Structure 1
Amino acid sequence: MYYLAKFAVLIYFKIMYKLHFEGKENIPTDTTVIYACNHRSNADPPLLGCGARGRFAFMAKEELFRNKLFAWLIRSLGAFPVARGKGDTGVIDTAVERLGSGRSLMIFPEGTRSKDGKVGKGHTGAALIAVKADKPIIPVGICYGEKLKFRTPLTVKFGRPIDPEEYCEISDTPNPRQLVKLKNRYMADIKLLVEGEPEASDDTKEDKADE
């Protein structure tokens, strides 16, 4: 049922949008991973899931689990509830458990949808989970124009994996400053995937011309 549903969703998105995937070769095949992705619409989780390898899990706000039928559906697709704004520390342990049980994890580190399409500063949750679980982070960019409309060109870009051990000592109690460094790395990679290389200033262009 899981893979049948995933295939049906992929066909739907292929019909609705001009959907392409880039960088899927960057996804490791020998381990579960954490997909850290920008957030623009409610379509982001299934869009990311269509390109992700294997089974995955994702956090969903607890309000979505109030309807028993819908709760059963999203649980079967890997969702687990999180109480936003209540300091729900148990969700970190749940995320680590899911990674250890063979499911990769989808996280949208900005914490809310972007209204202008630009990538925000993000939070350290993905970094904390990566360090606790000792799993790589795959930065992901969902890219399209101002609005998602019928037959909009849409590309899901998967970046190169980030080894958390390059930034943090693998531990149950990681250093907060190290977590920020790791967070800054994957947010910079996400921004690069979504927005591309920043344009050089006029002064920089003149300096290069002088060289």
Structure 2
Amino acid sequence: MATEETESTAAKKGEAAPKGKLHAFAGNSYDDYYDSAMSDFPWTARVLMNIVVYACYAFTKIVWPWKIENAELLVNDKRGRVIISNHESMVDPVLLVVTCWRAGIHLRIVYKSEFDKVAIARWLFSRVGGFPVNRGATDMKAVRRARAALQRGECLLIYPEGTRVKNDADAQVHGGYALMAQLAKAPVQPIAMVGARFLKFRSRIVVRAGEPIEWSELQSKKRKEQVAEMERRGMDEVYAIREELRRAYPELKE
């Protein structure tokens, strides 16, 4: 009866009902992975994640030596958060996912739905906790998934620039992440990196984590105004951290 009530309530809200533990080898849809807690993923997916994480950690450390400054701000905070960053290369999310997974933090990548056109990319993203968002419109299904994940204590990794940026002048910031955070009453954590735009063998990458931005810190009082303020402040702090890194590591300035 309790399960039926949960499913009925979720259906009325247009949300997916809790799935419980997923099957190890078959019987799970992509939506099952998108809507389930990462702690409920089958052991096969967790084994895959461990293999991917430690292989990527070893490979990236050797090929592109990298470090995360103020890492304690990222790994010691166990709350569900929306983590935002500038986007320089496909290596960017790997570094953050690897760091968080090794610290016991479940980090889900919110990726653009265009990647789902590549079957292997969709399969892999789903198994490591990612879910797609349609950037062409307000994707309420993705927003609801984000809220549920944050309320479970999972973190979301979002790149508001939407795509890799090779020139600062070309950056276009997309909204949406603040609404996801607001609905779950979750903080937004800015992070920035330098050195990843034009990767060469043994080129260094430096990442720096910033302090999470709490909703109570905002000056705006109305919900829509708070979202707009968080959208502005979040990326302003990302770019401020990036500029600090460029000053500290001028040799990595692209």
Q: TM-score, normalized by length of structure 2?
A: 0.68
Higher fraction of helix:
2
Structure 1: where are the runs of 5+ without partners?
Answer: 200-211
Residue in structure 1 matching 2:70, options 23, 44, 52: 23
Query: How many angstroms apart in 2 are the aligned matches of 1:198 and 1:154?
Result: 11
Give the conservation status (yes or no) of the 8 Å contact 1:48–1:156. no
1:165 and 2:213 are equivalent in the alignment: no
1:147 alignment counterpart: 198
1:77 and 2:125 are equivalent in the alignment: no
Task: For residue 190 of structure 1, report the CA deviation from its aligned partner.
Answer: 0.6
2:43 alignment counterpart: none
Runs of 4+ in 1 over 4 A off after TM superposition: 117-121
Alpha carbons of structure 1 residues 163 and 130: separation in structure 2 relative to 1, 3 Å:
same
SS at match of 1:141: strand
Query: How many angstroms apart in 2 are the aligned matches of 1:100 and 1:49?
Result: 19
Query: How many angstroms apart in 2 are the aligned matches of 1:34 and 1:160?
Result: 12
2:90 alignment counterpart: 42
1:51 and 2:80 are equivalent in the alignment: no
Higher fraction of strand:
1
Task: For residue 72 of structure 1, report the CA deviation from its aligned partner.
Answer: 2.3
Task: For residue 79 of structure 1, report the CA deviation from its aligned partner.
Answer: 1.1
Structure 2 counterparts to residues 1-211 of structure 1, below 5 A = 1=47, 2-27=49-74, 28-52=76-100, 53=103, 54-117=105-168, 120=171, 122-144=173-195, 147-167=198-218, 175-196=223-244
- Which deviates more from structure 2 when the two are superposed, residues 140-149 or residues 150-159? 140-149
Structure 2: where are the runs of 5+ without partners?
Answer: 1-46, 248-254
Task: For residue 111 of structure 1, report the CA deviation from its aligned partner.
Answer: 2.1
SS at match of 1:74: helix
SS at match of 2:199: coil
**Deviation digits for residues 47-83 of structure 1 (CA, Å, limit 9, x no counterpart):** 2212334111112232323444442221111111222
Identical-pair percentage: 28
Give the conservation status (yes or no) of the 8 Å contact 2:165–2:171. yes
Alpha carbons of structure 1 residues 119 and 167: separation in structure 2 relative to 1, 3 Å:
farther
Q: TM-score, normalized by length of structure 1?
A: 0.81
- Higher RCO (CA 8 Å, separation ≥ 6 residues): 1
Aligned partner of 1:140: which letter? Answer: I
Query: How many angstroms apart in 2 are the aligned matches of 1:90 and 1:187?
Result: 24
Aligned partner of 1:31: which letter? Answer: R
Give the conservation status (yes or no) of the 8 Å contact 1:26–1:158. yes
Alpha carbons of structure 1 residues 189 and 118: separation in structure 2 relative to 1, 3 Å:
farther
Task: For residue 129 of structure 1, report the CA deviation from its aligned partner.
Answer: 1.3
> What's the Cα RMSD here?
2.6
Give the conservation status (yes or no) of the 8 Å contact 1:119–1:191. no
Task: For residue 120 of structure 1, report the CA deviation from its aligned partner.
Answer: 4.2
